[in-house]
Amino acid sequence: MSKATRAKVGKLLVGGVAAAAVAVPLALLSAPAQAATTLGGCTVDPLAPVRVGTSPAGVPLVRFSTRVTCVQDRIIQIQDQRFEADAPAGLAGDDGYGATTYLRTFAAGSTIVVSTTDEVTNTEAGNEEAYHRTSFRVASIGGVSGWTPFEDSPVLSVAI
């Protein structure tokens, strides 16, 4: 390869690396934020609620699911609280649908989804805004962690 050809290849290589160095951070900035919390070898992600049908009484049914990933030899306890969002922002004005505590053991590392289905009752004029929030703690051979702060799922607007 001639000296001129090597110089061109070098410039192309340096230019390509520089372009990649700029493109990767820009791609990361435009990627959606992941709403998951990790602690003690486990990651918990409260997923967006999904309307799954209507009860025999004509009330909307919504499934509230949470994705859980843990490494081997972990026990996780998850508190899941379900609400209808109202003003003012925060729990003060929200109506509760219920709460569930999940306890799962991971002999091997894996990912599971835990869920429950609730009726979304009519609490106001217009649509209901259903969401859930999760907190968890992890037990391992080294002991039990403290509880994580609660993390909210996305909100589902439910027509009544």
Q: What is the CATH number of the domain that holds 151?
A: 2.60.40.10
Contact 14, 47 (CB under 8 A): no
Domain span including residue 99: 37-158
Q: Using 50, 70 and 90 to split pLDDT, how confident is the model at 91? A: confident
- Structural tokens at position 150: 């609660």
| Structure confidence at residue 75 (pLDDT) | 98
| Structure confidence at residue 112 (pLDDT) | 98
How many domains in the chain? 2
User: Which whole number is the average pLDDT over 40-57?
Assistant: 97
User: Which whole number is the average pLDDT over 10-14?
Assistant: 39
| Structure confidence at residue 35 (pLDDT) | 63
* Residues 79 and 5 occupy one common structural domain: no
* Residues 26 and 41 occupy one common structural domain: no
pLDDT single digits (tens) 103-157: 999 999 999 999 999 999 888 888 999 999 999 999 999 999 999 999 999 999 9
Pairing of strands 74-84, 128-140: antiparallel
Predicted model pTM = 0.76
pLDDT single digits (tens) 52-86: 999 999 999 999 999 999 999 999 999 999 999 98
* Residues 115 and 101 occupy one common structural domain: yes
The residue type at 158: V
